[in-house]
């Protein structure tokens, strides 16, 4: 905005000059700020706060630093815009507080007295040019960082021109919350004016009443319209998806599958992912080639969200379904806690069945039909309840087998939110050992209680991304190439039952936590993991937003990175639940059969 300089002229003759005394110095120049181009009534909403702009540009630029998962221009634009909006808010709040404290007022007075008017007039152009330069430099650096991450995980790197589209998108994303805040402030001003004019309230009381009224209105809108309305729409949308069936997956005819004509669970109630699970699987020839002996039809038991209304009823029905299918006469029963929509990853079932040439049983129940990323945010308690009830029910049934009658090994599996669900069935590692014959937990969320306790108490010198706990005596960690050798690394004994966590250094599900807002995690203090670029650093608030956005992108990478563990499941099962006398040659035979 423009400023004009006007020489102050005395309204009458100087008395000192009239009486011949020592002349006074010339009057100081008084600086008046005139109307600028954005001071017009229709353009005032475009004005920006100087400190807010500076901090916003800093936050948005830092969001271009590397994170865990490669980003395209769209994802980067979201990260940059959200971070810039937060930075602008921080800057404007600081500016507001500084201008209304005694110390701030004194500092501004001294600065205004000492800084020449020409410098003050040039401040805005300097700030705008500096902001543009910073954004340009960070854009070029960010594109290079994204190329480095892409090459590290084995995908095609972005071009600078394509990546540059993140900047205009970031501006739009940042402007949206700022515009909402300004609308609220404008509503507050109008409300205060109305209360003073029509209710004749003093200004301070009118301001307080306006704040309370606006807070009530906003809370009601957010609760009744935004939250409930959005959740209702999401619920209806995904419940409709749950009623669909994947093409090519027909109702099974084998009595060892839920949903078959002999099943206690109707095919129509299994849900989309449940129907896929019971209808899928490798054929007998593949299972025989993998196991090195004649194949047996595998047992796959599943109870959908619509099969029974209560979680306990679903768990009880799952046990009855296992009994009907003859699961408790098999050498191994795997209890799987599903993720989100009720999904069970194909390699989880296929690999275990290949190890045993089909002579195995797998059971799972559905507790939600929300996609994984929404379930990760909202379905934690339901996942824990479903996992605990199913594990307890299957364990109780196995324990009820009379002495002298062979009992199957009960192994537990959970991936992502499913690992949190099955972890919730146990109070400690001792409880896990006492009530299972092996556990495989894959991509555990950072909020997993048992995982967090183990990682926090890891052996000194072992990194958070691949910790060693108690010399690997009970529980071990692996991920990527290290999974195949987990039984030999460390070389110390690993007593049964084996507990194994698979986690990638680049998996945002494992490392996302609200603590990232204000606390630097160990995995960003220690040397970076094998698939994380060394340039990734921690910044307050910024890193939280970056890893949060990585969650949405976590499966859009090749196997062995991010939240994709398909190539490591077989090695995980071998480490936890291999048949007696298993060798490396057996594992190679299974891998070849499954790849055929």
* Closest to 360 in 3D by CA, of 430, 410, 308, 316: 410
The pLDDT tens digits for 263-296 are: 999 999 999 999 999 999 999 999 999 999 999 9
pLDDT for position 21: 44
pLDDT of 90 above 70: yes
β pairing state of 475-478 and 332-337? unpaired
Residues in the chain: 596
Kindly state the tokens that stand for 288. Answer: 């025989």
Give pLDDT, residue 85.
92
| pLDDT surpasses 80 at 594 | yes
What pLDDT, on the 0 to 100 scale, is given for residue 1? 41
Residue 24: pLDDT band by 50, 70, 90 thresholds? Answer: very low
Share of the chain above pLDDT 70, in %: 87
pLDDT on residue 188: 72
Q: Which residue has the higher pLDDT, 127 or 46?
A: 127
Highest mean pLDDT among 44-48, 87-91, 283-287: 283-287
Give the CA-trace dihedral at 139, 140, 146, 151, to 10 degrees: 170
Helix then strand then coil, % of the chain, to nearest 5: 55, 10, 40
Does pLDDT of 30 surpass 50?
no
Q: What is the pLDDT of residue 27?
A: 41
The per-residue pLDDT for range 231-271, each reduced to its tens digit, is 566 666 666 777 888 999 999 999 999 999 999 999 999 99
pLDDT band at 108 (very low <50, low <70, confident <90, very high): confident
Q: Cβ atoms within 10 A of the Cβ of 197, count?
A: 10
Neighbouring CB atoms inside 10 A of 484's CB total 19
**Which helix (H) or strand (E) covers residue 478, if one does?**
strand 475-478
**419, two tokens:** 């690992």
Nearest one of 197, 196, 178, 174 to 186, comparing CA atoms: 178
The per-residue pLDDT for range 118-155, each reduced to its tens digit, is 776 777 788 889 999 999 999 999 999 999 999 999 89
The Cα 340–Cα 273 span in angstroms is 10
Residue 300: strand pairing partners: 257, 362
Q: What is the DSSP letter of 339?
A: B
Domain parsing of the chain, residue ranges: 251-504+565-595
User: pLDDT tens digits, residue range 465-501?
Assistant: 999 999 999 999 999 888 989 988 889 999 999 999 9
Tokens of 447: 């909020």
pLDDT at 369: 79
- 196 pLDDT above the threshold of 80: no
The pLDDT assigned to 49 comes to 80
Q: What angle (nearest 5°) sits at the alpha carbon of residue 138, between those of residues 132 and 142?
A: 145
* Mean pLDDT for all residues in the chain: 86
Token pair for residue 194? 């109305």
Reported as a pLDDT band with limits 50, 70 and 90, residue 45 is: low
Scored b (16 or more CB within 10 A) or e, 355-371 reads bbbbbbbbbbbbbbbbe
- Whether the CB-CB separation of 191 and 210 falls below 8 Å is answered with yes
Residues 6+ apart with CB under 8 A from 206: 192, 195, 196, 199
Report field, pTM of the whole predicted structure over 0.85: no
Name the band, by pLDDT with cuts 50, 70 and 90, for residue 183. Answer: confident
User: What sections of 281-360 are H helices per DSSP?
Assistant: 284-291, 311-325, 346-355
DSSP summary character for residue 225: I
Q: Report the 10 Å Cβ neighbour count for 494.
A: 19
Which helix (H) or strand (E) segment holds residue 577: the answer is: helix 569-577
């Amino acid at each position: 905005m423009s400023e004009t300089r006007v020489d102050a002229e005395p309204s009458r003759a100087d008395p000192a000059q009239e009486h011949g005394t020592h002349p006074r110095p010339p009057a100081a120049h008084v600086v008046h700020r005139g109307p600028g181009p954005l001071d017009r009534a229709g353009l005032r909403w475009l004005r920006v706060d100087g400190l807010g702009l500076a901090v916003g540009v800093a936050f948005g630029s830092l969001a271009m630093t590397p994170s865990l998962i490669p980003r395209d221009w769209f994802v980067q634009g979201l990260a940059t815009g959200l971070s810039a909006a937060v930075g602008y808010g921080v800057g404007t709040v600081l500016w507001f507080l500084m201008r209304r404290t005694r110390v701030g007022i004194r500092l501004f007075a001294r600065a205004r007295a000492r800084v020449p008017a020409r410098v003050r007039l040039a401040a805005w152009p300097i700030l705008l040019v500096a902001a543009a330069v910073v954004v340009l430099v960070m854009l070029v650096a960010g594109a290079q960082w994204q190329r480095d991450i892409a090459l590290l995980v084995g995908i095609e790197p972005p071009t600078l021109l394509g990546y540059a589209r993140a900047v205009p998108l970031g501006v739009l994303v940042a402007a949206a919350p700022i515009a909402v805040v300004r609308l609220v402030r404008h509503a507050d001003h109008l409300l205060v004016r109305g209360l003073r004019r029509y209710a004749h309230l003093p200004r301070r009381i009118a301001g307080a009443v306006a704040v309370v009224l606006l807070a009530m209105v906003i809370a009601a809108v957010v609760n009744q319209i935004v939250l409930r309305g959005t959740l209702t729409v999401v619920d209806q949308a995904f419940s409709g998806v749950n009623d669909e069936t994947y093409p090519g997956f027909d109702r099974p005819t084998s009595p060892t599958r839920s949903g078959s004509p002999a099943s206690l669970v109707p095919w129509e109630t299994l849900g989309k992912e449940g129907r896929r699970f019971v209808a899928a699987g490798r054929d007998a020839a593949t299972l025989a080639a993998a196991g090195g002996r004649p194949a047996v039809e595998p047992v796959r038991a599943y109870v959908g969200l619509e099969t029974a209304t209560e979680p306990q009823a679903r768990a009880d029905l799952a046990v009855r379904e296992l009994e009907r299918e003859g699961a408790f006469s098999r050498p191994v029963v795997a209890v799987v806690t599903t993720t989100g929509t009720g999904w069970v990853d194909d390699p989880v079932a296929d690999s275990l069945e290949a190890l045993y040439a089909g002579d195995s049983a797998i059971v799972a129940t559905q507790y939600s039909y929300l996609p994984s990323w929404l379930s990760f945010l909202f379905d934690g308690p339901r996942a824990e309840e479903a996992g605990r009830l199913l594990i307890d029910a299957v364990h109780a049934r196995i324990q009820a087998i009379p002495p002298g009658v062979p009992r199957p090994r009960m192994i537990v599996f959970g991936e992502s939110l499913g690992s949190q669900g099955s972890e919730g069935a146990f109070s400690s590692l001792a409880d896990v050992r006492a009530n299972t014959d092996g556990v495989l937990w894959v991509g555990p969320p950072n909020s997993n209680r048992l995982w967090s306790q183990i990682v926090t108490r890891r052996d000194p010198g072992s990194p958070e991304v691949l910790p060693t706990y108690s010399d690997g005596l009970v529980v071990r960690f692996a991920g990527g190439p290290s999974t195949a050798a987990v039984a030999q690394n460390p070389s110390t004994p690993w007593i049964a039952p084996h507990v194994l966590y698979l986690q990638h250094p680049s998996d945002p599900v494992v490392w996302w936590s609200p603590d990232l807002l204000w606390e630097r995690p160990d995995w960003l203090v220690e040397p970076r993991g094998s698939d994380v670029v060394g340039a990734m650093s921690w910044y307050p608030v910024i890193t939280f937003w970056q890893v949060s956005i990585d969650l949405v992108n976590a499966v859009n990478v090749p196997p062995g990175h991010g939240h994709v563990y398909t190539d490591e499941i077989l090695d995980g099962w071998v480490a936890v639940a291999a048949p007696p006398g298993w060798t490396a040659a057996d594992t190679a035979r299974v891998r070849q059969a499954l790849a055929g």
